[in-house]
Amino acid sequence: MTVSRSTIERNLDRVYRRISAAAERTGRNPQAVRLIAVTKAVGLEEAQVLHTLGVNDLGENRVDDAREKVEALSEARWHMIGSCQRRKARDIAALFQYVDSVDRVELAEALQRRCDEQDKTLHVLMEVNVSGETVKHGFTPSEVVTALDRMRAFDRLNVDGLMTMAPLVDDPEETRPVFAGLRRLAQDLGLTELSMGMTNDFEVAVEEGATQIRVGTALFA
């Protein structure tokens, strides 16, 4: 998939305007919402364009596909946004600064061990399956407290907050209870980062308190 600079620039401006409008509807500062540009469907050239346009947070969901981009744009903040396999923990620790999809304590243990070997610290988000869909990864809301207590013992991992993925639905309004549920859970736990919302529903997520949104299609289509 090859996308021109002018298309990316136009789409990025549109996404920023949508973020601003959603934030202002609920009295939030748009600057409190971090855009993570998901570059998994495009190549290095498009990722470089985004970075030159000021997008510092870039997200990938496969280690092997991400390597070339991460090594070429080492000054960017790279987020692992996909499901992680423990056997890939060494590479994840080496390539990424953020892991936004820690869905089990065993994965956190593996990342802790590999970070210790590499003398590195990772910022992580706990993935929570708020919607209860069987096809989705993540802790159940009832598991989060115990899991967080265990993960806070890992000195190589900074648990910044929570992440969730809402169901794919035609009406974004239907995702609101999922995002509101994650916000309440984070507040109860004293966590400040909320990663929720993608191309189809990020405006609802921003209205419900998202501090990070993951957008790919809206930047490149």
Q: Supply the pLDDT for residue 132.
A: 87
Predicted TM-score (pTM) of this structure: 0.96
Q: How many percent of the chain have pLDDT more than 90?
A: 96
Q: Supply the pLDDT for residue 210.
A: 98
CATH of the domain at 103: 3.20.20.10
Structural domain count, the chain: 1
| Nearest partner of 106 among 161, 143, 136, judged by Cα | 143
C-alpha to C-alpha distance for 18 and 85, rounded to whole angstroms: 34
Q: Give residue 5's identity as a one-letter amino acid code.
A: R
Domain, as residue range, for 158: 5-220
Query: Using one digit for the tens of pLDDT, what is the confidence trace for 88-136?
Result: 999 999 999 999 999 999 999 999 999 999 999 999 999 999 998 888 8
